[in-house]
Structure 1
Amino acid sequence: MDSEDKTTNKGEQKSRKFLKSLIRKQPQELLLVIGTGVSAAVAPGIPALCSWRSCIEAVIEAAEQLEVLHPGDVAEFRRKVMKDRDLLVVAHDLIRKMSPRTGDTKPNFFQDCLMEVFDSLEQHIQNPLVLQSILGLMDKGTMVLTTNYDNLLELFGQQQNRPMESLDLKDKTKVLQWARGHIKYGVLHIHGLYTDPCGMVLDPSGYKDVTQDPEVMEVLQNLYRTKSFLFVGCGETLRDQIFQALFLYSVPNKVDLEHYMVVLKDNEDHFYKHQADMLLHGIKVVSYGDRFDLFPGYVQDLTTQICKQRSPDAERVDSTTFLGNACQDCAKRKMEENGMETPKKLRQPDTDDAGGS
C-alpha cells in the first residue's frame, strides 16, 4: 500500500466506488447469503459466532464445563480441531459422541452445550448496523439465506417489529413458499438452527430427502439461475457441501451468471487470485477493505445505494398515471362539450385492499 492509499484509507467508506452492475440491481433481484462474518460483526462478544472452528471449540469447552464429555474425549477433540482440516467431520463426530447410539438424536447433550454457547443472543448484539442494513433490503424484497446456526437477524428483526421467521430445509412446504417469494421475512438456515439441534446438518446426506426431491431442487436451483446472489460475511461458502448440493450441482453455464461476494482484502495476491477463480463460477469478488472494522460501514453504504434504486414498475406507474390523468381530463372536457354527464370518480382502494404482505 503506497502513502496515498494509507492517507485515503480512513475515508475509504465515503469515497469507495461500487460496481454499477451491483448497485443498480433492484433489491428483489438479489438473494443475500449471510455467513459468520455478519454474526462476528454484530456480536463480537461471542467467540462461537466468529468462525466454524470457534464454534466447535466453544461447544467442547461447554461440554467440559457441564461434564458431559469424558476428559480424554475433550483432549482428543481439541487436538482434532487444531490439526484436522475437515472441521465438518470433527463436528459430526462431536455431535455423535454426545448423542444416543440408537439413531434417534433426542435427547442429547449436544443441545445443552449449544444452549450454553448461544444463551441470550439478543443481549449480546453490540453493533446492529449490519442487521439494520439487511432488514432494509428485506423490506424491499431481498431474499435471505444463511449458513449460520444462530438467529441473530431474526431476533433483531422481531425487535424492529418485523414478522421474522426461521426456516429449515426439512420443512418442504415452508421452503417452497420461501423460494417462491411468499415469506417476505423468512430466513432460510441451510445448516439448521441451534434451537433445534436435531435439524442441524453437516453434510448433504442429512438432507437426502431434500436433495432427491425434484420439486424442491428445481425451485432452489432456479433461484441461483434467476437471482443475483450476494455473499456477505462468507468465507468458503462455495466449498460448503450443502450449498454445493442445493445450488451449484446441475446448474449449467455458471460463468454466464452474475453473483457477488464481499470479502476482506488482507492479502492482495490471495485476493486477486480468488477474484479470478470466482469469475469461473459467475461470481464477482469485491473488497470492503483491508480491516474487518470497515465491514459494517461498507454493508450500510452498499445497501443504501441498492435501496435507492427505483423499480421499473414504479416508474411505469408514474408515467401511466400522468398520461392517464391527462387522458381522463381530455375525455371529461369532450363529454362536457357534448352535454353528457361525467361519470363519478371511482373509489380508490384502501391500503389493506392493495395486498400488503
Structure 2
Amino acid sequence: MRAAEQERETQRQQAEAVDNLRDILKKRNLAICVGSGVTLYSIKAADRPRLTWTGLVHNGFDYLERELPNFYQQQEKAFERARKLLDDDTATPGDLIDAASKLKSFFQSHPVKLADWLSLQFKELHRYVASPAVLESLKSLHRNGALLMTTNYDGLMEKYCGLSPLDSSDKDKLMEFNRRHCDGVFHPHGYWKNPKHIVLDAIDYYKVQHDDGVQETLRNIFTGRTILFVGCGGGLADPNFGELLKWLGEKEKNIGSSHYILLRKGELNPVPQLPLKHVRCEDYDAIGPWLEDLLDQSERSEGTSE
C-alpha cells in the first residue's frame, strides 16, 4: 500500500512539473540546454563512440598520429600517458581534462590541424543522424518560444532548427542575443567552426569563466528563464558539462531550485552541485515524445528534416 501511495505521489509531482513547464513555455521563458546525450542518441550507433568525451579526445590523438607521424613519435610518451588516463575507469573529471589539455597543447603547435580535425568530426555530422525525433521536438519547442543552448561543439540543432551558432567569438552578437534582438543556438563551450574559442582544457575553462560575454549570457539565461537540461547525464563521459555547472552553482548559489533536468527512469542526477528538479521519461526513445508533450497538439512537429 505504501509503495502504491509513493507511486501516485511521484506521478502527481511529475504531472505538476510538466504543467509548470508548459506554462513557462507559453510565457516564452523556457531555455533548453542540450548535452551530449542528444547528439549520441540522434546519430547512427556506429558513430557514437568517437563523439563521447573520451572518444573525441582519443580521436584527436589518433588524428595527430595519422597526420603527423613524426611529431607523434617525438611526443609518444606524453601521448600514451594521456591515452591511459582516458581508458582509466578510476579517472576523475580533472584527469580527463588533463588528457584533453595534452591534446590541446599539441594542436597549438599546429592550429591548422586543429581546425581540420574539428571539421572532420562535425562538418558532416548531420549526415549520420538516424533518429531525429529529439531534434525535431527541439525544433518545435524553439518555434514556440524556447531558447536553445548546448554544451556540445556540433551544429545539429542549427541544422534542424535553421539557426545560427552563437559563441564567444562574436561579442556583439551575444549582446544582441541577451537583449533578445537576435536568435541562435548558444554554445558556452564553443562551436566547431571557431577553434580558438573551443573550451577543451583547464586554461580554456579559466578563459570562459572570465569571459564577460559568456558570463553575462549564462547569467541572463539562468536568472531570466527556467532551464530544462536534456541529454546532460553521463558523469565522467562529459566532464565539460559538469565543470560548467559546478562553476555556475558556485557563482549563483540560490538559483538551482527553479531549474529542471530530464532524466531517464532510474538515472541519478549527474550534477548534484545544483538542486535541480527532476522530471523523468522511460528511456532515450521517450525523450522526443516527452518534449512534444510540452506543446499543444496543434503546435507539435510534423515530419522530419532532410
Q: TM-score, normalised by structure 1?
A: 0.66
Aligned pair 1:57/2:55, yes or no?
Answer: no
Residue identity matched to 1:285: H
Asked if the contact 2:151–2:189 (Cα under 8 Å) also holds between the matched residues in 1, the reply is yes
SS at match of 2:24: coil
Go from structure 1 to structure 2 and tell me whether the alpha carbon gap of 1:49 and 1:152 turns closer, same or farther (over 3 Å shift). farther
Provide the residue aligned with 1:264 in structure 2. Answer: 264
Following superposition, the deviation at residue 37 of structure 1 comes to 0.4
SS at match of 1:53: helix
RMSD of aligned alpha carbons:
3.2
Q: Matches of 1:46 and 1:179 in 2, distance apart? A: 35
Asked if the contact 1:64–1:74 (Cα under 8 Å) also holds between the matched residues in 2, the reply is no
Go from structure 1 to structure 2 and tell me whether the alpha carbon gap of 1:74 and 1:118 turns closer, same or farther (over 3 Å shift). farther
Structure 2 residue aligned with 1:295, among 284, 299, 306? 284
SS at match of 1:306: coil
Q: Matches of 1:171 and 1:137 in 2, distance apart? A: 25
Q: Matches of 2:60 and 2:24 in 1, distance apart? A: 40
Within a 5 Å distance, the mapping from 1:26-45 to structure 2 comes to 26-27=25-26, 28-44=28-44, 45=46
Provide the residue aligned with 1:93 in structure 2. Answer: 102
- Bigger relative contact order (CA 8 A; separation at least 6): 2
Asked if the contact 1:62–1:117 (Cα under 8 Å) also holds between the matched residues in 2, the reply is no
Structure 1 residue aligned with 2:128, among 119, 124, 130? 124
Go from structure 1 to structure 2 and tell me whether the alpha carbon gap of 1:219 and 1:37 turns closer, same or farther (over 3 Å shift). closer
Deviation per CA, 1:297-320: give whole Å up to 9, x if none. x3332332222299xxxxxxxxxx
Q: Matches of 2:129 and 2:16 in 1, distance apart? A: 28
Provide the residue aligned with 1:240 in structure 2. Answer: 242
Q: What runs of 5+ residues in structure 2 fail to find an aligned partner?
A: 1-13, 299-306
Residue identity matched to 1:299: I
Go from structure 1 to structure 2 and tell me whether the alpha carbon gap of 1:107 and 1:214 turns closer, same or farther (over 3 Å shift). closer
Following superposition, the deviation at residue 50 of structure 1 comes to 4.3
Go from structure 1 to structure 2 and tell me whether the alpha carbon gap of 1:56 and 1:215 turns closer, same or farther (over 3 Å shift). closer
Asked if the contact 1:23–1:302 (Cα under 8 Å) also holds between the matched residues in 2, the reply is no
Within a 5 Å distance, the mapping from 1:1-357 to structure 2 comes to 19=17, 20-27=19-26, 28-44=28-44, 45-47=46-48, 50-68=51-69, 69-71=71-73, 72=76, 73-83=78-88, 84-85=91-92, 86=94, 87-100=96-109, 107-157=111-161, 162=162, 164-184=163-183, 186-202=184-200, 205-206=203-204, 211-212=209-210, 217-218=215-216, 220-235=218-233, 236=235, 240-245=242-247, 247-254=248-255, 257-266=257-266, 271=268, 274=269, 278=272, 281-289=274-282, 294-296=283-285, 298-308=286-296
Following superposition, the deviation at residue 131 of structure 1 comes to 0.7
> Identity rate of aligned residues, in percent?
24
SS at match of 1:307: coil
Go from structure 1 to structure 2 and tell me whether the alpha carbon gap of 1:168 and 1:239 turns closer, same or farther (over 3 Å shift). closer
SS at match of 1:24: helix
Q: Matches of 2:297 and 2:24 in 1, distance apart? A: 7
Asked if the contact 1:25–1:309 (Cα under 8 Å) also holds between the matched residues in 2, the reply is no
Asked if the contact 1:136–1:303 (Cα under 8 Å) also holds between the matched residues in 2, the reply is no
Q: Matches of 1:146 and 1:266 in 2, distance apart? A: 24
Residue identity matched to 2:284: F
SS at match of 2:190: coil
Deviation per CA, 1:84-136: give whole Å up to 9, x if none. 42212211211111322xxxxx6342333333333521211111111110011
Following superposition, the deviation at residue 48 of structure 1 comes to 5.0
Q: Matches of 2:116 and 2:264 in 1, distance apart? A: 34
Deviation per CA, 1:34-91: give whole Å up to 9, x if none. 1000001111342356421121122222222324551425433321211242212211
Go from structure 1 to structure 2 and tell me whether the alpha carbon gap of 1:205 and 1:96 turns closer, same or farther (over 3 Å shift). closer
Residue identity matched to 2:170: D
